Chains A and B, each alone.
Chain A
Amino acid sequence: MRSATNTKRNLVTAALVAPAAAWLAVFLVLPFMAMLVFAFGERAPEGGYQAAFTFTQFANLPTRAAAFWNTLLLAPAGALLCLLIAYPVAYYLAVKADPRYRLILVSLVVVPFWTSLLVRTYAWMYILGSRGIPNLLSMIGIEDVRMLNTPGAVLLGIVYGYLPLMIMPIYVSLEKLDRRLLEASADLGGKPVSTFFGVTLPLSLPGVMTGVALVTILLLGEYLIPQLLGGGKVFFLGNALVDLFLQSRNWPFGSAIAVTLVAVVVVVLMVAMRVAWKVAGTRQVDLV
């Protein structure tokens, strides 16, 4: 009797997770394995993939060194720039803002993240383009200012696109912060500055780590922002990948770059988790 109900229970469980499991297997696990296989293959003469087992593609990675450097420099730089602007905003929302307006103010931060990144990036293309600010400047006599297709424009687009994603996790970790700790610090004679650096900042580090890791990872795979605001001059790995898959049709080499990109993402994730654990550990020692 008992085993019969157990079997029935297991069957129901299996039926519930089966569609999602099939989806994950066919559209996540299988594609990753296929990509791995392609990365060790050769380019067919007419483009695409030809079966082989060679490390040539990985040996060729240095030919795309510029894309690697741009990505590995600008992604963390963009994430840090986001952090510098996001932290005060998150702090204000969680600690200083009037509770009556907090919900609206938080929503106003979240909403842009869920609206089309393409449209939001396009907005800057429109503003920085020759009919935008440069045109205004030329009216007051400052001629020939180029704003579009510069690293600065790409960085601006990055901050604009990913600021909401940085603010949210920091806000969540600050919102959970126990106010009594701040009061305790003040009662014990801590100045606001030392309370911030001794209590608030360490306690919000998990949120900071989550934000930095999320934004860095998404930026590592960014395509639209460098494409539209960098105009092919500021080249990310994402741009190299689109070029290799959709233009020059060198699929094995593209797969090798994509596999390397995933490896970098995994490393970033692992470092972030390691730091988050360390922070959590020291936090316990400090408080207890």
Chain B
Amino acid sequence: MRAFISSVYLFLYAPIALVVLFSFNAGRNASEFAGFSTAWYGKALGNTFLISALQNSLLIAFTSAALAAVFGTMAALGMERLGPRMRALFDALFAAAIVVPGVVIGIATLVALVAVFSFVNPAIAAFWSGDRPPQLGLGYGSIIAAHGLFSMALVTMIVKARIASLGRDIVEASGDLYATPLTTFRLIVLPQILPSILAGFLLAFTFSFDDFIIAFFVAGSKTTLPIYVFASIRRGVTPEINAIATLVLVASLLLILTARVLMREKKSKSGE
């Protein structure tokens, strides 16, 4: 049993470890380690296409995760106050946003946006007095919108679970002591749900930062980091990609570990 479990963990981590190891390989082959070198990192970081893709990814991940954290938390708080039918409707839609494959989300968003643009752009042009009317198109906005959908569902799910485990008595006590609902929220509810909001934000950020397939459909001419990595892989596997992959791994590792620590804190505080 133990040997089997150990080999599963080895299976999970050895390939990643190999990529990290060979990102420091002075040679080109995966079969021999020709000495330690950070040359591939230098090459990767000197690549302006890569850096601009990274900037795009960070911008998109931050914006979509921030929107999701705010709107998702609001939705989680609001759903508490809804009737059972409306709540079930929201639950179903959020579940759909999570369960429907990314390929389909990407396609549906692309199709809908292109259809909307084909109506809106001529309308703008008709009312535009200047000689160059603005054109709506795919880009940052469409990626943020599509990532925001999944992320909002994620944040709502996590924050709702936290709210469900909150003690109601302390909220009622606060009201009995003449605190306004807003004060109660600020002093009682928010501090207790804040770790789960942050965890949701980080998970949403990680999802957006790592997502390839949705962005692939709705990115238009913009390039995100996964799209850039995918394109480089198709041009041929090089050790430079190992260096980029290692950097991506380290970034998502830091994010996910922070998120898990935050979620853990919440569990130990709820007194289990």
Contact = CB atoms under 8 A, between A and B. Distances in A.
Interface of A: 9, 12-17, 19-21, 23-24, 26-35, 38, 48-49, 85, 88-89, 92, 96, 103, 107-112, 114-120, 122-127, 129, 131-133, 135-136, 139, 160, 163-164, 214, 217-218, 220-224, 228, 237-238, 241-242, 245-246, 251, 254-255, 258, 261-262, 265, 269
A3 B120 CA distance: 42
Contacts of A20: 71-72, 74-75, 78, 90, 152, 156
B173 interface: no
Interface residues of B, number: 80
Interface of B: 1, 4-5, 8-9, 11-13, 15-16, 18-19, 22, 28-31, 70-72, 74-75, 77-79, 81-82, 90, 93-94, 96-97, 99-105, 107-115, 145-146, 148-149, 152, 156, 203, 206, 209-210, 212-213, 216-217, 226, 229-230, 233, 237, 241-242, 245, 248-249, 252-253, 255-257, 259-260, 264
21 contacts: A13-B81, A17-B78, A19-B70, A27-B109, A49-B111, A88-B1, A88-B4, A115-B256, A116-B245, A126-B242, A127-B30, A131-B28, A133-B31, A160-B15, A163-B8, A217-B99, A217-B101, A221-B213, A223-B103, A254-B107, A262-B100
A235 B1 CA distance: 36
Contacts, number: 232
Contacts of A131: 28-31, 237
B108 A35 contact: yes
Nearest to A213: B99
Closest 5 CB pairs of A and B: A221-B101, A16-B78, A31-B108, A20-B75, A123-B15
A67 to B, nearest CB: 12
Main DSSP-derived SS at the A contact region: helix
A31 B112 contact: yes
Contact of B75 (A16, A103, A123, A246): A16
A72 B29 CA distance: 36
A135 B29 contact: yes
